[in-house]
Amino acid sequence: MATLPNPHRESWPRERAGYEDRRTVAYAGDTTRLRIGINWIAWEIRLASLVAAAGMIWAVRIITSNRAGLETLWQTRGPLEICAFGLLMWMHAKWQVSTKLR
């Protein structure tokens, strides 16, 4: 019984690499965790983001209260420092992710 040629198949020679009709084996990755426990760096990133967001919310509240403006923000202690502290915490966590100490 003769087979009809497939119109969707290119006419490359069978010897060429990558054009065979063989099934490829799919390898599953290693599913074991290297370290079991709490990922403290991820929690530090989350906490730092929340602290910075709290500082921004506080700053917006001061700016918009009674149409005070930016002058009141510069005179009020707290929101900018909190926001800066959250940013420093976030940068420290990202630094820990990017470096490996020996």
Q: What are 8-27's pLDDT values in tens digits?
A: 666 655 566 666 666 667 76
d(CA 53, CA 15): 61
Burial class from Cβ neighbours inside 10 Å (0-12, 13-18, 19+) for residue 39 reads exposed
Give the Cα separation of 61 and 82 in Å (integer).
Answer: 14
- Answer whether residue 5 shows pLDDT above 60: yes
Q: What angle do CA 16, 20, 25 make, to 5 degrees?
A: 125
pLDDT band at 47; cut points 50, 70, 90: very high
Q: Would you list the domain boundaries of the chain? A: 40-98
pLDDT digits (tens, 9 = 90+) for 73-94: 888 899 999 999 999 999 999 9
